[in-house]
Structure 1
Amino acid sequence: MFNNFDLIPVIDLLGGQVVHAQRGEREKYKPLNSILTDSASPVSIARLLLKKTKSNTLYVADLDAIQKRLPQKNAILNIASVLIGTEFWLDGGFATFENFTHLINSGKKLPNVCPVFSSESLLSLESAIESLEIFPESILSLDKKNNTFLNDSQICDYPKFWPKRIILMNLDKVGSENGPDIEWILKMKSENPSIKIYGAGGIRNNGDVLRVLKAGASGWLCASALHLGLIDYDKNG
């Protein structure tokens, strides 16, 4: 049923802790409370979620770096080095590609780390184009909040520069349990049929997973529904 769909677990790191992200209101994020585990270890939580979803991909958001604070370099490199067989999507609030290369070159070589460049963080259109050209396998996150694109870089307006994989990040839906943004998926898929589109936010149950799959999504980023035990997901079911 879900063979061509990837439910991608999310780890949100803030101040060295895994937190529960809600509606992009980062100043209100609290430490994670999960029915799946009492562990506070990012590595332990990541392993548990990867096993639960049978995913080969993990999405990690460094919320400190995204808010232009000191990046959580050690925590990130530790997770990536331990989970070496996992494709590691990293949103580190990268304004330019140099921010990513500086981080990744400061430790041992980690070929499994794939940068997520977000419209919220990219410095300019020039920086966006350059970053996506230098890292053609990277992922672009198109971010919006209050139904408005976070798009200082203007990259949301230039699909000709987009990579093969994009994330539709509706921050109002993240951790909200209000359901996924189906209309956005349908619109973007019809306009960009060759691009793999991943969504983020709002997934509540297996029914929502089926809805976004039918709408054309290749996968979905998920945390809250997993930690609340709302999804009984079998990728091969």
Structure 2
Amino acid sequence: MSNYRPILGSECCTAKQMAATKNALLSLDFSADDEPLGEACLFDDNQLWSEQVIIMTLARVGSDIGVDSEKLRYYQQSYPQTGFIAAGGVRNIADLQNLKAIGINSVLVASALHAKTISKADIANL
């Protein structure tokens, strides 16, 4: 078994491709204008999804405006059987705690680690 899993972004992946892929994670990507990027069915047909799905708001990646809690809450409540991974906008430990409170237990974090606004100890104490 491989440790590698491809990630297919909704803006460059079709529903047909996702359905034919066995080991990939889907990233549901949203534009700077908060518009879904890609085929509409990818955003609401959970039969096309992997067991975990990334929700990425591109305008928030590397920004200091925080996560898109409203969108993440919508997906978590609408599709509770799916493990969602938040991507874009995590600033600090409070953002991680808020994500955990709404049921998001996985997150992609880079900028906050580089800026040292989140530490290893913060993550260990979640």
TM-score, normalised via structure 2 length: 0.89
Larger Rg: 1
CA RMSD of aligned residues (A): 1.6
Structure 2 segments unaligned to the other structure (5+ residues): none
Query: Over residues 138-187 of structure 1, what are the superposed CA-to-partner deviations in whole Å (9 max), with x where a residue is unaligned?
Result: 31100001110111474223122211100001001000110001111110
Provide the C-alpha distance between the structure 2 equivalents of 1:127 and 1:236, rounded to a whole number of angstroms. 37
Does 2:113 align with 1:113? no
Does 2:34 align with 1:139? no
Provide runs of 4+ in structure 1 moved above 3 Å. Answer: none
Counterpart residue identity of residue 20, structure 2: E
Q: Percent identity?
A: 28
How many correspondences in the alignment? 123
Which residue in 1 is equivalent to 2:124? 236
TM-score, normalised via structure 1 length: 0.49
Which structure shows the bigger proportion of residues in strand conformation?
Answer: 1
Counterpart residue identity of residue 236, structure 1: A
Provide the C-alpha distance between the structure 2 equivalents of 1:152 and 1:188, rounded to a whole number of angstroms. 17
Q: 1:208 aligns with which of 86, 95, 106?
A: 95
Provide the C-alpha distance between the structure 2 equivalents of 1:219 and 1:127, rounded to a whole number of angstroms. 25
Would the aligned equivalents of 1:119 and 1:152 in 2 still touch at CA under 8 Å? Answer: yes
Structure 1 segments unaligned to the other structure (5+ residues): 1-109
Would the aligned equivalents of 1:125 and 1:153 in 2 still touch at CA under 8 Å? Answer: no
Q: 1:128 aligns with which of 12, 15, 18?
A: 18
1:199 is paired with a residue whose SS is strand
1:114 is paired with a residue whose SS is coil
Query: Over residues 17-60 of structure 1, what are the superposed CA-to-partner deviations in whole Å (9 max), with x where a residue is unaligned?
Result: xxxxxxxxxxxxxxxxxxxxxxxxxxxxxxxxxxxxxxxxxxxx
Which residue in 1 is equivalent to 2:47? 160
Higher RCO structure (Cα 8 Å, ≥6 apart): 1
Counterpart residue identity of residue 50, structure 2: P
